[in-house]
Structure 1
Amino acid sequence: MNSNDPPASKPIRRSRKARSKVLMFLRRVHLYIGLFLLPWVFLYGATGALLNHVGLFPEAAMQQVDASELADSAWAEFPDQNELAEQVVDAMRVAAPESSIELNPDHPPEFTNEIAFQIEDAGTRHAVHLNPVDKSAWVATFPENREPMEPVLQEIQRVEIDPNPMGIAEQTIPSVLSAAGIETTKTSEPLGWSKLNFLANVDGEPVRVTYVLRDGHLDVTRYTGEDGYSPRAFFVRLHTSHGQPPHWNGRRFWSLFIDAMAIAMVTWGATGLLMWWQIKRTRWIGGIVIAISVVTASVMFFSMMSFYATTKL
């Protein structure tokens, strides 16, 4: 620092130096979080595409069937969305003649997805998808699972435990509600399918046992150390895995990395904005891009809100 600098400039220099250190720290955070979570970035990017496109790197043989090939089949008589909506409304009028029922002209009828069936044939599964809009179809033929679940002790379908663990849990509900300050006279009902999983030996052979607390159902399958998934199904399963089990196991730690990814994505966005703002020559173009992004995201937000409001999916 120049000894001739006026005293007032020293705090300004210190402030700029401190700001530079903070910005450098944020850049390093942006960089090293990205490097550490790089496998998860690739995983969620790739498997997100797999979830969105069933034909991407398929494990099944895909066959397209053009609408012209189905012109002489029963499929040609399938009503379009408007015809089917009118038929449904007519049936509603018959079922409730005292009510006035009319289609909403501001919201055209839409199918939510294709109509699908599956056929099991000697270990091979065929999934038939019918497109009700363009009347085409496609068939996915899945190969025989290389790691099938082999049932053991098939004569045991359900077991009774005394005292019933689900009954004990249900008897605890009033105490939980009372402790939470909630008073109700309504009875509780099971939500979800909590299960107990463990390994055992049957006639000296390792087996996987799944006990369903809700109804005592029991699944016993031979344990070989395989997960029973094809590679594609396994990675898609990783993408959709969510929630936190009550035990500290691999799935629980996986959920922590999901949390880390959520935090990292917000951090990348915030630090990315900060780094963009530091480059003055990109502010104008970047501002336009952000404005377009906000408008596009808003349109998509309200579009999806409307979709879920009308379909409840």
Structure 2
Amino acid sequence: MAPLETIDPPVTPSSDAASPRPTSRPLSRRVMHMVRRTHLYVGLFLFPWAILYGVTGFLFNHPTVLADAPTAHFSRADVVGTPLEFAPTPQEQATAVLAALNDQQKPAAPYRLATGGAHYATRESFVANVKADARTFFVVYDPKTASGTIRETTTRAVGEKAPFATATGDAPRQRGMGMGGPMKQNHAGVKVEDSIVERLKTAVPTIMERKGFPKGEVTVTTSPDVKFPVEADGQLWTATYNPITTTVSGAAGQEQSELTARGFLLRLHLSRGYPGEVTTKWLWAVGVDAMALILCFWGVSGLLMWWQIKATRKAGRLVLALSAAAATALALGVGMYAVLAA
């Protein structure tokens, strides 16, 4: 009888032999993992800033959206029957100017138009201010499209004149809305002995000299108002004094903010710079810097993340090429350079 064959029990490998030792990921993969996580979380953190800049940028481009004052758009059809229906072109105006110069100066060789067409420069639109009783408006007219916008700029209702008021003061000056040169002193204003404007005019040449700039004549063109409460005849007023115009105006009652929702958003968009001390505005400036840096990081990290996905590389190259061509030719090249340099 054949001996029984003994079967050895299966050998169970040790855990050390069965499980391969974990190897650390390559440095490039760890770096990309960190880039993706950073791209994600900084995007979440700066989400409010991104939305704010998007919304406020849209408001700048569309003045009738969320309007805080009566606003209307007019088109070419609205100028029919007015002198603007057949407004002279830049070329026609240039011809008329040269004819007037030749008639006035009578040069030996008459001036004539050289090669190259006439065009509008410096800015694209005309701006007109309209005063209608106690209300004020500004009208923006685009000569190329014969269209534009009308917007009321009245900031406060006309009430009782303060007993100490010397004038109604200048209307608020808004960027890009028909700002008519430097503010000027009013003959009926209040002249104080210690004027900060005079101090500024005296100090600026010294400051410029210390920084290596030449001295020159100083004209202070813009200044903030000084607001303060005044009690007159038993009534509370809010006085407004402008150091340049030297006018004093007043409004009954305590100071009230005239900042509308639209104005608040637009001023947030334009708010910039670090004040001399740590304040809320200083912290906002930190957010602005962070947003600027993160936008650059988003662009670079987005490129790295795109390159990691091989299936998208071909289409991505095409998109990048189109983006670079459009940005260079339209925004930074031909388009914006022609507008800004004109």
The answer to whether TM tops 0.5 is: yes
Q: Which residue of 2 aligns with 1:155?
A: 166
Picking from 55, 61, 77, the partner of 2:64 is 55
Q: Which runs of structure 2 are paired with 1:86-105 in the superposition (5 Å)? A: 86-94=95-103, 97=107, 100=111, 102-105=113-116
Distance 2:160 2:305 in 1: 55
Higher helix share: 1
C-alpha deviations, 1:7-48, integer Å up to 9, x for none?
A: xxx9xx6571x3333323222322222222222211211111
Q: Which residue of 1 aligns with 2:339?
A: 307
Q: Which runs of structure 2 are paired with 1:1-313 in the superposition (5 Å)? A: 14=24, 16=26, 18-59=27-68, 60-62=70-72, 64=74, 66-67=76-77, 70-94=79-103, 97=107, 100=111, 102-105=113-116, 107=117, 109-110=119-120, 112-121=123-132, 123-135=134-146, 137=147, 140=150, 142=152, 152=162, 153-155=164-166, 158-173=189-204, 175-182=206-213, 184=214, 186-190=215-219, 192-195=221-224, 197=226, 199-203=228-232, 205=236, 207=238, 209-212=240-243, 214=244, 216-218=246-248, 220-221=250-251, 224=254, 226-300=256-330, 301-302=332-333, 303-310=335-342
* 8 Å CA contact retained: 1:115, 1:131: yes
Task: Choose 264-273 or 53-62, whichever is displaced more.
Answer: 53-62
Matched to 1:39, the amino acid is P
* 8 Å CA contact retained: 2:225, 2:241: yes
Shift of 1:134: 4.5
User: What is the TM-score of this pair, normalised by structure 1?
Assistant: 0.74
Matched to 1:154, the amino acid is A
Distance 2:255 2:33 in 1: 47
* 8 Å CA contact retained: 2:137, 2:154: no
Q: How many residues are matched? A: 298
Shift of 1:158: 3.8
* 8 Å CA contact retained: 1:147, 1:227: no
Shift of 1:244: 4.0
Distance 1:95 1:65 in 2: 38
Distance 2:239 2:148 in 1: 36
* 8 Å CA contact retained: 2:136, 2:154: yes
* 8 Å CA contact retained: 2:140, 2:149: yes
Distance 2:119 2:152 in 1: 33
**Equivalent position SS for 1:117:** strand
* 8 Å CA contact retained: 2:205, 2:216: no
Structure 1: unaligned runs, 5 residues or longer: 5-9
* 8 Å CA contact retained: 2:237, 2:250: no
Distance 2:101 2:139 in 1: 30
Between Structure 1 and Structure 2, whose CA radius of gyration is higher? 2
Q: Which residue of 2 aligns with 1:7?
A: none
Matched to 2:143, the amino acid is P
* 8 Å CA contact retained: 2:236, 2:254: no
RMSD value, Cα: 4.0
Structure 2: unaligned runs, 5 residues or longer: 1-15, 168-187
Shift of 1:70: 4.2
Shift of 1:289: 1.0
**Equivalent position SS for 1:195:** coil
User: What is the TM-score of this pair, normalised by structure 2?
Assistant: 0.69
Identity of aligned residues (%): 23
Distance 2:56 2:315 in 1: 32
Call closer, same or farther: CA 1:216–1:33 in 2, change over 3 Å: farther
Shift of 1:164: 3.8
Distance 2:101 2:306 in 1: 57
* 8 Å CA contact retained: 1:208, 1:223: no
* 8 Å CA contact retained: 1:147, 1:226: no
Shift of 1:77: 4.3
**Equivalent position SS for 2:130:** strand
